[in-house]
Chain A
Amino acid sequence: MNKFVKWGLPALTLGLLGWGWWLGLVWAPPDREMGDVQRIMYVHVPLQWMAMMAMFINFVAAVTYLLRQSWKTDALAEAAAEVGLLFGTLGMITGSIWGRPTWGVYWSWDPRLTSEAILLVAYTGYLVLRRFVEDPDKRAVWSAVVAIIGAVNLPIVWFSVRWWRSLHQTQSSPKTVDPQMVLPLRVAAFGMLGLMIVFLIHRYRIALSERNAEVALPEALPSDDPAQRASQSSKVA
């Protein structure tokens, strides 16, 4: 692992998160209606964005695996699904903490929340499937198929807020938000991106080592001379 990935990226991540959250907690003005409670947005929204991105990476890795088998894409798919599930779960928890004072409930059956819960269950199923199949080749193919089918749920999640009416606020574009809220959100989002990449890299390396331990890689093919072996097969008259 090169030095930047090992030390620079985590440091940058911590710096960005620290800066972004300082901006969010101290520098940005409180929300006109929600007050200080709204400041959880600087954690919640970046978490959700990064969960989406991780699951998109999982989808791309799964498609890539089916097109060209490689333990690298399989390991990346596994890493991305786990990191996505972690970020998504944290996003959901921060969301309900935000929801309690704002809507008066921790959980509402609003379409976007509901679809996100469905998505998280789907990815849990994906990870359970990975645990339940021993053969690494079969596991890689089947989980890639499940990832692709499950990823079709992603657009449904993302656009469901438009498809059904709900009490969840529609995604705000930066134009409608106070610029003093945009900056901390952006900084925190980049910090969270760094955090996701750090997690992803570490989890990917673990997954790849696991694959290497599970399978003798093609380089490890028995190396004796095959021609010699074949000529030994005896003839029976």
Chain B
Amino acid sequence: MRATRSVGLLTTTFVLLRKDLLIEWRTRARLNALIFFAMATLLLFSFALGPDTKLLERNAGGYLWLAILFASVLSLGESFRVETENACLDGVRLAPANARAIFLSKAVGNALLLLALGVVLVPVMVALYGVKIVTGFGDLAGILVLGCLALSAPGTVYAAISSNARARDVLLPLLLFPLVIPALLSAAKGTTLVLQGDPMHQLGSWQGLLLGFNLIYWGLGFVLFPRVIED
């Protein structure tokens, strides 16, 4: 036998996350395409609504999160397409890697990707819709982090399921969209408050809602994911 050390859940998660990020880096053309897709979405909202700048300004937060949501469906699907291509997911779980570590690595990886996307999209949004960041960058960063985490945890579970089903490209949004509406709602509201000012101090409660949503679905995903990928 080869000399090996025992590998814990966190180490496994880290190894898998590193592998996913490496794949993202090596296929960065795909990542760029995703970013341009999201930017095009932002641009299209302004065409669909006409040149009413007031309207665009007021709804900027919502459009930002819709763009992130649409992009998330693509990136989530892609992150499991990589695993199904040569049955790599089987290779990983037989390695053996703990199924929960697989969940954590995929969910964190997708959240990081969405976060990077969000960071790129915010300046585009500011420029396109003519909004100002009123309450501060910290608040916006908080909303972005919480929102991306909230999309990626249930998204990872559903992407793992739909990657094995027929019509997976339709199934994932059909399952995911109704589920993440509370997260989308609070992230969009929170962003709007950041952009328009928060005289009533509501931002905290929306962040609280996002935090609760995250706790519930990260917990559920952690508990249920092994059942999804193990026979």
Contacts and interface: CB of A to CB of B under 8 A. Distances in A.
Interface of A: 66, 118-119, 121-122, 124-126, 128-129, 132-134, 138, 141-142, 144-146, 148-150, 152-153, 156
B161 A129 contact: yes
B126 interface: no
Contacts, number: 65
Interface centre among B154, B157, B175, B217 (most CB of A within 10 A): B175
A118 B228 contact: no
21 contacts: A122-B178, A122-B179, A126-B175, A129-B161, A129-B175, A133-B164, A133-B166, A138-B164, A141-B228, A142-B165, A145-B161, A145-B224, A145-B228, A146-B161, A149-B154, A149-B179, A149-B217, A149-B224, A150-B179, A152-B220, A153-B179
Contacts of B82: none
A128 B171 contact: yes
A34 B162 CA distance: 47
B171 A121 contact: no
A68 B111 CA distance: 33
Contacts of A129: 161-162, 165, 171, 175
A155 to B, nearest CB: 10
Contacts of B220: 148-149, 152
B182 interface: yes
Contacts of B177: 121
Contact of A149 (B157, B171, B174): B157
A132 B166 contact: yes
A117 B160 CA distance: 25
A150 B224 CA distance: 13
B89 to A, nearest CB: 14
Interface string B147-182: 000000010011001101111000100110111011
B46 to A, nearest CB: 23
B10 interface: no
A133 B165 contact: yes
B70 to A, nearest CB: 17
Interface centre among B165, B166, B167, B181 (most CB of A within 10 A): B165
B224 A132 contact: no
The 8 A-B residue pairs whose C-beta atoms are closest, nearest first, are A122-B178, A121-B178, A125-B174, A132-B165, A132-B166, A125-B175, A142-B161, A118-B178
A168 B217 CA distance: 29
Given A132-B165, A133-B164, A141-B227, A146 B175 contact: yes
Given A128-B174, A129-B161, A129-B171, A145 B182 contact: no
B216 interface: yes
Contacts of A121: 174, 177-178
Nearest to B181: A118
B186 to A, nearest CB: 11
